[in-house]
Amino acid sequence: MAYPGSNKKISFPKSVGYALAGIKFSFRERNMKIHGTAAVLVILAGIFFPISKTEWLWILLCIAGMFSLEMVNTAIEKTVDLVTGEYHPLAKAAKDLAAGAVLIYTVYSIIVGMVVFLPKLLEYFI
């Protein structure tokens, strides 16, 4: 891996370090903190209401997908902010599209959570 315009190769350990720095940076963002809190609550619910291995895979897919998509959204927002500090319709469109992708995945994740946990909640309370 090399940075654009550079012939210098980056070692794998350094690449991993940069990736971890990106993950750490992402948790400074409000929305990532919200997703992180939701992930912890869902994992605790999965422990309290025992769920199958397949259900765990769906839940973990939702969590990993949400974290990844939120990080891509943040990267797009930061890049747009770097390129232009002024209002531009294309800058707005880029940010709105990325936010829309996160919203779609959020709704999907909520539906998966309902499919997994709603029967267990009903069984627990009825």
Active site residues: 70
Query: Is 123 within any annotated ligand binding site?
Result: no
Query: Is 33 within any annotated ligand binding site?
Result: no
Report d(CA 125, CA 107) in Å as an integer. Answer: 25
Query: Is 55 within any annotated ligand binding site?
Result: no
Query: Is 87 within any annotated ligand binding site?
Result: yes
The number of beta carbons lying within 10 Å of the beta carbon of residue 66 is: 21
Q: In whole angstroms, what separates CA 89 from the centre of its chain?
A: 26
Query: Is 96 within any annotated ligand binding site?
Result: yes
Are the C-beta atoms of 109 and 61 separated by less than 8 Å?
A: no
Query: Is 81 within any annotated ligand binding site?
Result: no
The number of beta carbons lying within 10 Å of the beta carbon of residue 16 is: 10
> Which residues are annotated as part of the binding site?
18, 29, 70, 77, 86-88, 95-96
> Which residues are annotated as part of the binding site for substrate?
70
> Which residues are annotated as part of the binding site for a divalent metal cation?
29, 77
